[in-house]
Chain A
Amino acid sequence: MRKQDNTITWDTFSEGLWRENPVFAMLLGMCPVLAVTNSAINALAMGVATTFVLLASGVLISLLRRQIPKQVRIATYIVIIATFVTIVDYAIQAISLDLYNALGAFIQLIVVNCMILGRAEAYASKNRPLKAFVNALGMGAGFTFALLCLGVVREVLGAGKLFGVDLFGPQFEPWVVMVLPAGGFIVLGAWLLLFEWFKQRKAQSESDAVVEVR
C-alpha cells in the first residue's frame, strides 16, 4: 500500500483560501465567477452552493477512492457531482424562488465547474475523507471569498447598493456597465492586477532583503 501523509494541518485548509485560491491564483471555474457576481447576495449564494457540492462530492469520492476503477474515474466523478448539483438545484428552488430565477442555469452548470472536477481528481481521490473534507472547505471558502470580492465591487459601483441596501442615496448615478457582462471581465482583471502587484512587491522586497544580508 502506498504511504500517505494523513496529518491535517492548518495548511490543508488555508491553501485554498489564499496561495492556491481557485479563482485568483488558478483561474478555475471562471464561468460562474463572472456570470452571477452582479450582486453580492447572488455571489454569496453561488459560493455556498458550490462549496456544498465541493464538500459532498469530495467526501464521497474520497470514501469510494479504492472502489472506483481507474479507467472510468472521470465519468464516475461527473455522475457523483451531477447528483449533488441536482440536490442543490432542487433545494434552492424550494428555499427561494427569487434566488433560483436570479442564478438561472448557473446552478446546474456547477457540474461543469472545472474546479470541482479538478479537486476530485487531484485531491479527493488521493486522500482520506477527513482531509479531503478540510481541503474542500478551504477551497470552497476561497471560492466564495473571490465571488464576494467581485460581487461587492460590482454591486456598489453598478447599482449603488450592498446586499440590496442603498448606500449613497438618490443622488448617486450608477455605473451601469459594472453590472453588465463587460463589467465582470473588467473587475476581475482589476483584481488580478492588484494581486499581481502585491506579489511583485513582495518578491521585490524579498530580493532587496537578500542583498542587504550580503
Chain B
Amino acid sequence: MNYESLSFIFLNAVLANNFVLALFLGLCPFLGVSGKLNTAVPMGLATMFVMLVSSVCAYGINIVLVGLDIEFLRLIAYIVVIASAVQLVEMTLKKFSPGLFRALGIFLPLITTNCAILGLALFQTFKEYDFLQSLVYALGAGTGFILAIMLMAGMREKLELSNLPSVTQGAAVSLMLGGLLSLSFMGFAGLGGQ
C-alpha cells in the first residue's frame, strides 16, 4: 500500500473525513455535551487525550496480537485497553490536577463508550498505519472532534436566544444543525482527494 504523508493524514482526519460529521463517530457526546461552549471544550480536549493514549496502546497491542496469531481477540483487547486508559487518565488527573478533574466530572468515564475512540483504533489497524502515522491520525481525529463540538456548541448557544416553534425544541433542531454543519464540511471533500 502506498505511503500516506503525515500532513495528508492530519488534514484528512480534521476536515475531509471529520470523525463526527462525515464518519458519524462520537455522536453521543456531540449531541449530549454540546449545549454550552465551556463544557464542550474540556470534553473535546479530554477525548483527544484519550485518543492519543489509546492509539499508542492499540498500536502496540496489535503487534503482539499479530505476532501471536490471535487477531480474533483484537476487539476485546482494544476495548479493555481503552477502558483502562480512561481509568488511568482519571486517576492521574485526580492526583495531579484536581481542578481539571472536577471540571470534567462525569464526562471522563463516559469517554469509554465514545465510539470515536474505538473507531480510531480500528481504522488505524485497517489502514495499516505505522507508529508515527497512527499518532498523527489520532491528533487529527481529536482536533476534528474539538472543531465539530465547538462549532455545534457555538450555534446552540445562539439558538437559546432565538424563538423556535414548540415542536422543534430538543434534539430535532440539534440534528438539523448537525446536518447543515455536515453539509458545509462536504465542501472540504476535495481536499482529501480520496
Q: How far is the CA of A192 from the CA of B80 in the complex (A)?
A: 35
Q: Taking the complex as formed, is B154 at the interface, i.e. its CB lies under 8 A from any CB of chain A?
A: no
Q: Which of A176-196 contact B (CB under 8 A)?
A: 177, 180-186, 188-190, 192-193, 196
A196 engages B170 (CB within 8 Å): yes
Interface residue stretch chosen among A11-19, A29-37, A122-130: A29-37
Please pick, from A112, A182, A184, the residue contacting B186 in the complex, using a CB distance under 8 A. Answer: A182
Q: Taking the complex as formed, is B88 at the interface, i.e. its CB lies under 8 A from any CB of chain A?
A: no
B24 engages A34 (CB within 8 Å): yes
Q: How far is the CA of A202 from the CA of B61 in the complex (A)?
A: 54
A186 engages B171 (CB within 8 Å): no
For the residues of A in contact with B, the DSSP-based class is helix
Q: Which of B21-73 contact A (CB under 8 A)?
A: 21-28, 31, 72-73
Which residues of B have CB within 8 Å of A44?
Answer: none
For the residues of B in contact with A, the DSSP-based class is helix
Which residues of B have CB within 8 Å of A189?
Answer: 171-176, 178-179
Interface residue stretch chosen among B4-12, B95-103, B114-122, B155-163: B114-122
A182 touching B179 in the complex, CB below 8 Å, given contacts A111-B118, A114-B28: yes
Q: Taking the complex as formed, is B182 at the interface, i.e. its CB lies under 8 A from any CB of chain A?
A: yes
A86 engages B122 (CB within 8 Å): no
Question: What's the minimum C-beta distance from B158 to chain A, rounded to whole angstroms?
Answer: 18
Interface residues on B, range: 35 or more
A34 engages B27 (CB within 8 Å): yes
Question: What's the minimum C-beta distance from A75 to chain B, rounded to whole angstroms?
Answer: 6
B183 engages A177 (CB within 8 Å): yes
Q: Taking the complex as formed, is A134 at the interface, i.e. its CB lies under 8 A from any CB of chain B?
A: no
Please pick, from A82, A83, A182, the residue contacting B183 in the complex, using a CB distance under 8 A. Answer: A182
Q: Taking the complex as formed, is B79 at the interface, i.e. its CB lies under 8 A from any CB of chain A?
A: yes
Which residues of A have CB within 8 Å of B168?
Answer: 193, 196
Question: What's the minimum C-beta distance from A40 to chain B, rounded to whole angstroms?
Answer: 18
Q: How far is the CA of A200 from the CA of B170 in the complex (A)?
A: 13
Which residues of A have CB within 8 Å of B166?
Answer: 200
Q: Taking the complex as formed, is B76 at the interface, i.e. its CB lies under 8 A from any CB of chain A?
A: yes
Question: What's the minimum C-beta distance from A69 to chain B, rounded to whole angstroms?
Answer: 16
Q: How far is the CA of A90 from the CA of B71 in the complex (A)?
A: 12
A109 touching B113 in the complex, CB below 8 Å, given contacts A31-B28, A182-B186, A196-B170: no
A185 touching B119 in the complex, CB below 8 Å, given contacts A30-B27, A30-B28, A117-B113: no
B87 (CB) vs chain A CBs: closest residue: A75
B173 (CB) vs chain A CBs: closest residue: A189
Which residues of B have CB within 8 Å of A82?
Answer: 75-76, 79
Residue of B73, B113, B118, B186 with most chain A CB atoms under a 10 A cut-off: B113
Which residues of A have CB within 8 Å of B76?
Answer: 79, 82-83, 86
Question: What's the minimum C-beta distance from B102 to chain A, rounded to whole angstroms?
Answer: 22
Q: How far is the CA of A75 from the CA of B178 in the complex (A)?
A: 32
Q: Can you name 25 A-B pairs with beta carbons within 8 Å?
A: A28-B28, A30-B27, A30-B31, A31-B27, A31-B28, A34-B27, A35-B23, A78-B83, A89-B75, A105-B123, A105-B126, A108-B118, A112-B79, A112-B113, A181-B186, A182-B183, A185-B175, A185-B182, A189-B171, A189-B175, A189-B176, A192-B171, A193-B167, A193-B172, A196-B172
Other CB < 8 Å A-B pairs besides A35-B24, A86-B73, A196-B172, 19 of them? A31-B28, A83-B76, A85-B75, A86-B76, A105-B122, A108-B118, A111-B75, A111-B79, A112-B113, A114-B28, A117-B113, A181-B21, A181-B182, A182-B183, A185-B179, A186-B175, A186-B179, A193-B167, A196-B170
Chain B interfacial positions (CB closer than 8 Å to A): 21-28, 31, 72-73, 75-76, 79-80, 83, 112-115, 118-119, 122-123, 126, 166-176, 178-180, 182-183, 186
